[in-house]
Structure 1
Amino acid sequence: MQMPTGFFSDTPLPNLSVDDVNFRAGRRASAVHRHAAVAAGMFGVMIDRWISRHFTRPSWYEGNAAAIEELETTDPVLTAQALRLMWGLGEGPLPNMVQLCESKGIRVYGLPPVAEVVDAFSGWSDGTPYIFLSRRKTPERSRFDIAHELGHLILHTTSVDSNAEAHHRQEEDADRFAAELLAPASSVAGLLPRQPSVDRVLTFRSQFRVSAMMTAKALLRSGRIDDAGYRRLCSALARRGFRSGEPGGMAQHERSRIFTHIFGTEAAEKRTSADRLAEELSLPVTDVHALTFGTQVHAVDTPTSPVSAHPMPAPTQPLKGSRLRLVKG
């Protein structure tokens, strides 16, 4: 990658070591992918600081942190249930996961292609939580990745465990959290009969915007099917192509409200451009596009939540530089 000349003389990068990062796809990720993901995290924080100097966004509420500290010691499933209650989400389908996180002050950024093998990772900088997300998966599985990383941010805020057994346990905890957050067992039991047909499973899948295979696991977890029924259902779904994809699923990945507001989808809506941001930060414009999900250059047909037409006022003080502590991948 060719970096702009100013990159080597401008503001120092956040202090981040690849040894502090746990990658979700670590076995498949080479050293190049790992270092690229760490660099993307640094660039993402730089972009986030720039945005914070020019726009006002929701901030991570300290009351959330205090309440979440109480949740850390509980079971991942109970934690997911408590978070739904704390955020007033009920038991139904969750909205756009990117925008939900943004509304709580959690920053969500993309990953450039060279780093996509890591899938996702999360961390904190200056008391602000971050999620970095690949979009090489289906939209449904990307929603799960966000929920998984949210689980790490809540369950494992003070630990990055390199021990293989402990790391595996934390990954399982984050998976259990994500599954319950996206498709609560109470909703599965209330909406699906025992031993449901594949068509009923796919209806639930579309309603809750989760993968069909995750719905099968949710049925097993909630006791609506037994082990044998789970194997039969997975085989039936695999025959329809759900092992490697999501036929008939979401047409597109969920969009960021913040990046849409800043970059716009039409020329008249733009408050700034990726070119300007890249120039001011001395970053490759291609990385700026990737980190902001290509919002400026990819038009989207389906409607999203409305965005305020008024520019956000600039805060009086810029964010101070700080260390980015990566929690989990």
Structure 2
Amino acid sequence: MKELRIATRQSALAMWQAEDLQTKLQNLYPNIIITLVPMVSRGDQILDVALSKVGGKGLFTKELEVAMLENQADIAMHCIKDLPMYFPESLDLYTITESEDPTDAFVSNKYDHFDQLPQGAIVGTSSLRRQSQILAKRPDLKIEFLRGNVGTRLGKLDDGQYDAIILATAGLIRLELQERIKHKLDTHMCLPAAGQGALGIECRIADTEIHKLLAPLHHVDTAIRVYAERALIKHLEGGCQVPIAGYAQIENGKISMEARVAEVDGSVVYIEKAQSDLTDSYEQNVIIAEKMGKDLAIKLVEQGADAILEKLKADL
């Protein structure tokens, strides 16, 4: 192989992620030319409507996938939390890189901590997951719609449109905007989205040579956690913009996971937790992780989570 082409969205964060991947691959394979293929996704163009109402997560991946299917690019780097559960027939997710901090970040120019927000303060987010968990703790707050790339969202905060906004910690760290983080929301208060902080590389199933090139970048522990979290979403049939949270951790040879489904107004929050021993086999651990995610989804449905999700689907 003489050249490897990386499809990427043109947002600052997506470009950072693609350029970081480009550097890592170039260091591994100095004799291969690693190039970027920037493009604008429909999700980047539609900024005034919730994603759930215009096509969901696939809006961020479709153009990149078409580029691979039409041989205009070889691989694509994605935020795992933005990935749909299913891929086009000839494409798949082959590499999951080491995760950055998966938490949500409290960002404000007025207040140093979430607990300092006064009654009726305006908080910006377009995530129903964040909204539902924030309102469960503080039903007095006013949640207002906020979309756009990281720079756009920070600009709206700086213009005084919000008292605070909630962003992914990982994105701010990657863009070297850590100074904007007042504090990271405790996962007990705001459990992360499935796959938050992790990045994945999609490519053609037939390109086995590329699979081998990507293998050194695959991070085993992150992948096992991501498979657990995505299994939860898959079995709850949760698309984009649903109030589902899933967070898995690996420690001392065990995987533990917490999952939540909540009413959008925070009036009801269903919670399930699980823990399991891991083995020395990566393949077996993936099976264990995916079973954990599925089992938690089943338990949430038994509590009543399916009624919440079905009601949301009916409203779309």
- Fold in common (TM above 0.5): no
**Which structure features the higher share of strand residues?**
2
- TM-score category of the 2 structures, normalised to the smaller one: under 0.3
TM-score (norm 1): 0.27
Larger relative contact order (Cα-Cα within 8 Å, sequence gap ≥ 6):
1
**Which structure features the higher share of helix residues?**
1
TM-score (norm 2): 0.28
